Structure 1
């Protein structure tokens, strides 16, 4: 199996790459600064490092890179700096998603390519009746005004939901929504839900980046798991985060 990962040098994308390499898959990564990658990656024969900015690649180059890939995973995000949040490209995740999908379609592969997009619990799945409080709606509305990356996440997910859709013969997709991201060294127990079970704004849970990488790897590698979540936006929580929530509820009662 061959997997293309964009956003591979990021805190979560790097965890996904590590999980894929453990499975001994062929992995391609597109990174702007390959010198920052771990030395073990550079020496790994299963890893192909492509030094480029994804939005600057030509359509032909994108088509060549995605050719032969069974899956494409995007862990792209905006750097938490003034330039990263408010500078260009403001639609990094959305534009990259569109270009990758266009490239996949141009290859006319015989079987569908899996597309896994990392997103956020702050983005509702509009295919489901995910209700939130009035206060949370107000906060999300404010985020759309003051934080361009939030709108970028919404538009990227909406592109897969509405433009690629559920019955595309060339692309199948899953949008993974972690809650509050934390760092951890080892994969721990986690649980997956179709929708958030707690407020992403006022009562966020925790999700370790390595667990996100592990779940994305499992989606790509496990056919039955893929069938379970294909065309959906599953939410991932650390199990310990849910235990903490249950303790809080018990105390209130």
Structure 2
């Protein structure tokens, strides 16, 4: 299978691609900074590297990019710099999801394409009753005012929930919500929940990026796992996280 990965040069995107390669997939990797990529990727015939900012591509190029892909995975995020947080594009993740989904639907694939979005546990799944404390509501409200990337993550998941929905002919989706991201060298035990089991603000857990990549790759590869989580926003924690 061929998988399109956007945000491929980011810390989690690179872990996802390594897991996809382990599982035997071909990968189209869209990257803004190809010089940051591992040398092994540049000589790997199973990786096609597309050097571009995803939102700079034309609609026709978007359709070409998604054509023939079994799945699309988005690990896009904002750089943690002043320009990355407050500069443009402020709706990078949302606009990429919208344009990629439009391209998929324009191609009219015979079977639905999986769209796997990396999101955040700080974003609630409004399809479920996910109660949070008044204090956490206040903090999230401040984040919406002060941090455009948080709003972008919320709107990207909301686009999939409300615009693509549960019965789209051409697209199925899942939005993966890790807690506090950390770096580990190896995949470790992790647990998946439909909703957070702890406060993302006041009692955050840990999730290693390699585990996020492993879970996203597993969703793409394993149809039984996909049937369990499609149309949902599963939360992933490292199993060793203290409660």
Alignment TM-score, normalising by the size of structure 2: 0.99
Structure 2 partner of 1:84: 84
Question: Which residue of structure 2 lines up, in the alignment, with residue 126 of structure 1?
Answer: 126
Deviations 1:103-149 (A, max 9, x none): 11111110000000000000000000000000000000000000000
Match of 2:25 in 1: 25
Matches within 5 A, 1:138-149: 138-149=138-149
How many aligned positions are there? 243
| CA apart distance, 1:32 | 1.3
SS at match of 1:18: helix
Please name the residue that 1:207 is paired with: 207
Q: Which runs of 5+ in 1 are unaligned?
A: 246-253
1:1-253 aligned within 5 A: 1-241=1-241, 244-245=242-243
3-state SS of the aligned residue for 2:139?
helix
Find the aligned partners of 2:72 and 2:217 in 1 and give their Cα distance.
11
Q: Which moved more, 1:29-38 or 1:229-238?
A: 29-38
Q: Cα deviation per residue 1:86-111 (whole Å; 9 max; x = unaligned)?
A: 00000000000001101111111100
Q: CA deviation at 1:85?
A: 0.4
- Offset from partner CA, 1:152-196 (integer Å, 9 cap, x none): 000000000000000001000000000000000000000000000
Q: Distance in 2 between matches of 1:36 and 1:120?
A: 24
Cα distance in 2 between the residues matched to 1:131 and 1:106: 38
How far is the alpha carbon of 1:237 from its aligned partner?
0.2
CA shift, 1:41, in A, is 0.4
Distance in 1 between residues matched to 2:160 and 2:234, nearest whole Å: 14
TM-score in terms of structure 1 length:
0.95
SS of residue matched to 2:116: strand
Which sections of structure 2, spanning at least 5 residues, go unmatched? Answer: none
Q: Aligned with 2:30: secondary structure?
A: strand
Mapped to 2, the partners of 1:97 and 1:65 lie a distance apart of 14
Match of 2:121, SS state, is: coil
Residue 240 of structure 1 aligns to a residue whose secondary structure is coil
Mapped partners of 1:153, 1:179: distance in 2: 14
Deviation readout 1:178-232 (Å, 9 max, x if unpaired): 0000000000000000000000000000000000000000000000000000100
In structure 2, distance between residues paired with 1:183 and 1:32: 22
Whole-angstrom distance in 2 between the partners of 1:103 and 1:81: 30
SS of 2:5's equivalent in the other structure is: strand
Name the SS of the counterpart of 1:203 in structure 2.
coil
